[in-house]
Chain A
């Protein structure tokens, strides 16, 4: 079963993403409410996909992405960054740092599902 880590500080948004993924396939889903939790889960579980919000307190999504991309253990792990419409610059930075795809909030469930399917296959 594929493992997916969802890092997002808004609990509703996180549960919506999780619900969207659950409706799609049998995944092993891990949830992180902030960068700290994500960092705790990453070394423990070899995840197949990371979905992270950019704007999180303390450790933001870009920092998390950079961590993943600079570590040989995870450098190949696909990453989807989630951001708001306004934060174009942050999104561009994310893509430059090696994000595989980005999602703009609010998004349609199918959009996320297609993206996940594309990256996992």
Chain B
């Protein structure tokens, strides 16, 4: 198989897996709430079916086999032959995981395979469950055979289900122009779905008018034909009742139950009434349907899949364009200083270029953005499975799923977020018995909430579990030699112990505190994304973990500063203000330098001391850059403020990833590379060093 074919397969599989995952999560919620969503089940069935076809075409027999079994199971579910239960949803989730594992394996090596017999056996077991009662024949209904003949088995089942639920079965007849039928029909279908279920849509030709297409729409609804007709407000539509809540309307029954909503005759463009329309009503609504809010069936096919590498390349080019523009602007300034005649015109042209460049940059940025919902939906499955394994009852409350983040950041967030949620589930939330004894609701809640704040996105993971006792952390910290026995650290400092690599993760700690298991890894992951992790907890009430992340890492505006003769870039989105240092402003408290800023104490950080820089002392420490991240503040002492610039941040590579306080390197355009400071990392380092002072 060619590499290109394999990539196509992988891309499509990934899309299908993601969609299946989301839909299964919704399906799972339906088990508890008892809500039925036939469109959802049918959609999942079709996706499993597509998966099977896809794998078969590429010769991946193991995937095709598993997908085939899944499809069978879903087919039985959508046809009502088996019931929707928790164990069924679990089996679907697990099988999906099996499929994902196979796909991942093939990505590495197309010959990869693994044993799927346990999945197949589980599906077979469910398929062989007690059969659900047989359905009544539909032939007794008042439906023309021309319509019954085109119903798929699934549609027949939906018809039966609607009858069992006591819904009226109505047949809508309507004609639309060839030019506009798709939008009009999509709008009508959508409107019918608001009031019931569309079972089947049969297109037909209008023999009198070749410019029109006729449609018969079979639907199940609680509405009477009159009510539905009024709701739909579509001119020239004819609604027949095929079966009523009181029982099927037999063929050739006199039109006793029928209503003439309007004396207006059925227009010529409407389909010719057939023999089954004896109980028909004609509804001529007063309003013409507008081309409704862009509802169209076409939207699904308008997306393009792009390799993120290509977007990275575009972003780099945009960054380099910005640098080139900077160089031209510099030339222009020089020319103005020299009194060159047309320098002013050039300046105007540069401004115009700048605006367009900004638009281009925003456009490319926008393409990289994906909603965090993708990430949150993955968590749904983990919560579900872990809750079952641990015998806990947990509700996952997701908010702000539409918040957008750079695709690369979203990818790198998966593991840390998973870790945090596992911890919350395992150690945070109590068992149902324990919760009952504490008079808490039996079902624990984990909230997952994303929101945008300026140039950052904050993701919060909260639980209403037992919380973390700082006093126990203090004891453990002293025991581990991380804090002095006589020290009096603040809450935040104690919580930050949890992120310390050497902090004990032994059972007795997790029994009380619960956390600490690999949290240093989580912190490192978040720092690598120039993010900040914070924790707040209250004993007995729960814990809240906040991740503050930049929206993107690709291109940023930076403040260039000079410290001891070397230039550094500070991301502008974390710079709050800059101040000139006057003699006497700096005070020393407990050996740490601080200053007062608007009645608040601000910790000062000397980068030169932190990085052990030597050099020019003449201009030392003239300015303070007040940097903020989340709700933390810090003053960075610098020698000189050099100006603002757009920079494209490049990673320093894995071998230098241990260096604290540096987010990466950037090219300034004049063949000069400078280091970009990691403000979030510096703040949390300072925090850990200084404890509760000044933040």
Given the complex, which residues of A lie within 8 Å of B114, measured CB to CB?
none
Least Cβ–Cβ distance between B506 and chain A, in angstroms: 51
Asked if A16 and B46 sit within 8 Å, CB to CB, the answer is no
Prevailing SS type, chain B contact patch: helix
Interface stretch (choices B51-59, B130-138, B582-590): B51-59
Contact B301 A11 (CB under 8 A): yes
- Measured between C-beta atoms, what is the minimum distance from B199 to chain A in Å? 11
Interface residues of A in 1-49 (CB under 8 A from B): 9-13, 16, 33-37, 39-40, 43
A60:B152 contact, CB within 8 angstroms: yes
Question: Which chain B residue has the least Cβ–Cβ distance from A70?
Answer: B204
Per-position binary interface string of chain A over residues 58-84, scored 1 when its CB falls under 8 Å from any chain B CB and 0 otherwise: 111011111100111100000000001
- Chain A residues near B198 (CB-CB < 8 A): 58
With a cutoff of 8 Å between Cβ atoms, the chain A residues found around residue B49 in the complex are 55, 84, 105
In the assembled complex, the Cα of A80 lies from the Cα of B54 at a distance in Å of 19
Closest chain-B Cβ to A92's Cβ sits at a distance in Å of 10
Instruction: Give Cα distance in the complex from A89 to B157, angstroms.
Output: 13
B481 CB-CB contact with A under 8 Å = no
**Is B150's CB under 8 angstroms from A36's CB?**
no
Tell me, rounded to whole Å, the shortest Cβ–Cβ distance linking B364 to chain A: 25
Whether B205 pairs with A36 at a CB distance below 8 angstroms is: no
Of B50, B181, B189, the contact of A12 (CB 8 Å cutoff): B50
B150 touches A86 (CB 8 A): no
Docked-complex contact B152 and A90, CB < 8 angstroms? yes
Given A39-B181, A66-B149: A71 in contact with B205 (beta carbons within 8 A): yes
Across the interface, do B64 and A106 meet the contact criterion of CB distance under 8 Å?
yes
Asked if B8 is at the interface of the complex by the 8 Å CB criterion, the answer is yes
Answer yes or no: B298 CB below 8 A from chain A CBs. Answer: yes
Cα A39 to Cα B214 in complex, Å, equals: 11
Q: Which residues of A contact B75 (CB under 8 A)?
A: 86-87
Q: When the two chains form the complex, which single residue of A63, A73, A97 contacts B201, counting CB atoms closer than 8 Å?
A: A63
Q: Given that A12-B12, A36-B297 are contacting pairs, would A63 and B203 also be in contact in the complex, using a CB cutoff of 8 Å?
A: yes
Given the complex, which residues of B lie within 8 Å of A39, measured CB to CB?
181-182, 203, 213
* Known contacts A13-B54, A39-B213, A63 near B64 by CB under 8 Å: no
Measured in the bound complex, the distance between the Cα atoms of B74 and A87 in whole Å is: 12
Contact between B52 and A105, CB atoms less than 8 A apart: yes
Q: Is B95 an interface residue (CB 8 A)?
A: no
- Using CB atoms, name the residue of chain B closest to A56: B46
Q: Which chain B residues in 48-87 approach chain A with CB under 8 Å?
A: 49-50, 52-57, 64, 68, 71-72, 75
Question: Inside 8 A of B57's CB, which chain A residues have their CB?
Answer: 12-13, 16, 106
Interface residue tally of chain A, by bracket?
35 or more
Contact with A along B165-191 (1 / 0, CB 8 A): 000000000000010011001100100
Most buried by B among A58, A72, A106: A106
In the bound complex, do residue B203 and residue A64 qualify as a contact, i.e. CB atoms below 8 Å apart? yes
Q: Are A106 and B52 closer than 8 Å at their CB atoms?
A: yes
A111 within 8 A of B: no
Residues of A within 8 A of B300 (CB): 33-34
Q: Is the CB of B56 within 8 A of A62?
A: no
Q: Provide the residues of chain B in CB contact with A71, threshold 8 Å.
A: 204-205
| B301 contacts A86, C-beta separation under 8 Å | no
Residues of chain A within 8 A (CB-CB) of B201 are 35, 58-59, 63
Taking CB atoms, residues of chain B closer than 8 Å to A84 are: 49, 52-53, 71
Q: Given the complex, which residues of B lie within 8 Å of A34, measured CB to CB?
A: 297, 300
| B117-161 contact mask (Cβ, 8 Å, vs A): 1 or 0 | 000000000000000000000000000001001111111000000
Chain A residues in 8 Å Cβ range of B149: 62, 66, 93, 96-97
| Shortest Cβ gap from A82 to chain B (Å) | 9
In the bound complex, do residue B178 and residue A43 qualify as a contact, i.e. CB atoms below 8 Å apart? yes
Contacts of A87 in B (CB 8 A): 75, 152-153
Q: Do residues A10 and B53 form an inter-chain contact, with CB atoms below 8 A? A: yes
Residues of B within 8 A of A59 (CB): 201, 203
Report yes or no: B72 in contact with A97, Cβ–Cβ below 8 A: no
Please name all residues of chain B whose beta carbon is closer than 8 Å to the beta carbon of A105 when the two chains form the complex.
Answer: 49, 52-53, 56
Minimal Cβ-Cβ distance residue in A for B206: A71
Contact digits for B403-438, partner A, Cβ 8 Å, 1 yes 0 no: 000000000000000000000000000000000000
A37 partner, pick from B8, B56, B64, B298, beta carbons under 8 A: B298
A91 to B650, CA, bound (A): 57
B200 at the interface (CB under 8 A from A): yes
A37 surroundings in chain B (CB, below 8 A): 182, 297-298
CB-based contact B46/A62 at 8 Å: no
Residues from chain A with Cβ under 8 Å of B64 in the complex: 106
Tell me if B202 counts as interface (CB < 8 A to partner A). Answer: yes
Q: Give which listed residue, B50, B205, B298, B301, contacts A13 with CB less than 8 A.
A: B50
Expressed in whole angstroms, the minimum distance between the Cβ of A69 and any Cβ of chain B is 10
A67 touches B68 (CB 8 A): no
A90, closest chain B residue (CB): B152
In Å, the complex CA distance between A33 and B72 comes to: 24
Task: Give chain B interface residues in 279-305, CB to chain A under 8 Å.
Answer: 297-298, 300-301
Known: A36-B185, A67-B204, A71-B205. A62 touches B151 (CB 8 A): yes
Given known A84-B52, A106-B57, contact A63–B150 (CB-CB < 8 A): yes
Question: From B205, which residue of chain A is reached at the shortest CB distance?
Answer: A71
User: Within 8 Å of chain B (Cβ to Cβ): is A116?
Assistant: no
Contacts of A58 in B (CB 8 A): 186, 189, 198, 201, 297
| Residues of B bordering A, CB below 8 Å | 8-9, 12, 42-43, 46, 49-50, 52-57, 64, 68, 71-72, 75, 146, 149-155, 178, 181-182, 185-186, 189, 198, 200-205, 207, 210, 213, 297-298, 300-301
28 chain-A/chain-B pairs, Cβ below 8 angstroms? A9-B50, A11-B12, A12-B12, A33-B298, A33-B301, A35-B201, A36-B181, A36-B185, A39-B181, A40-B181, A43-B210, A55-B46, A55-B152, A60-B155, A62-B150, A63-B150, A63-B201, A63-B203, A70-B205, A73-B205, A84-B71, A86-B71, A86-B75, A93-B152, A97-B150, A105-B52, A106-B52, A106-B53
Q: A12-B57, A60-B152 are in contact. List 8 more A-B contacts (CB 8 A).
A: A35-B203, A55-B49, A60-B155, A62-B152, A84-B71, A87-B153, A96-B149, A106-B56
